[in-house]
Amino acid sequence: MIDKLEQIKIVPVVAIDSAEKAEPLADALCAGGLPCAEVTMRTDAALDVIKVMSRRAELLLGVGTVHNPDQAQAAIDAGAKFVVSPGFNPRTVNWCVENKIPVFPGTSSPTDLEMALEHGLDVVKFFPAETIGGVKTLKAFSGPYGGMRFIPTGGIGPGNVKDYLALPCVLSCGGSWMVKPDLLKAGRFDEVQRLAVEAVALAADAAAAPPLTVNTPLPG
């Protein structure tokens, strides 16, 4: 699971209101070279969407915006393979750990990271990334928490995703720019595919660039 996320580099964060659009969305992401999605529990259709999208064997499918163990179990039963939460809920994390489900709780402070270490985690979500300092904050965290890997999400798009992916501590990035709700609502899956192709290219460019380190000055 971790290796796949690191290879894919970008996780589309999806809020979709109709299970009828789940199959064409899965088709568009896979055709665009981005076989991954985090379906958030922000809509009533989320579990049905997960059921449909999970039929695609090549699609690495997770569930996001999970607030409690009941939501996590419902999503896993529907076909999700990993769990993402906006914050660190010990009950949710404990349930996932006990059931051997990969979980990436949201973190935004050293206290959150200490809790992650206490629960045996070495990969966490960093959220809301841009609001809490973005790349600069992650560079600061990577000193005292050198063994922790991050999945930054929140405010990430084509203009800054390469800055995040250049950090060795970043496993992959979550973003919604290629799966914006207005595109899904309008059925613009051709545009979803095009943006997925562009996202893959951005990730490839970042992989080819020299990595940033704790002591590397930031651009500008």
- Catalytic residue list contains 125: yes
Reported as type and span, the H/E element at residue 73 is: helix 69-78
Give the angle 209-214-220 at the CA atoms, nearest 5°.
65
Residue with tokens 């915006």: 65
Selecting among 125, 136, 191, 198, the annotated active-site residue is 125
Selecting among 6, 20, 23, 38, the annotated active-site residue is 38
Residue 95 sits at φ, ψ, to 5 deg, of -60, -45
* Cα four-point dihedral sign 88, 90, 95, 98: positive
Crossing angle for the helix pair 46-53 and 22-31, to the nearest 10 degrees: 50
- Catalytic residue list contains 162: no
> Three-class SS of residue 84?
strand
Task: Enumerate the active-site residues.
Answer: 38, 125
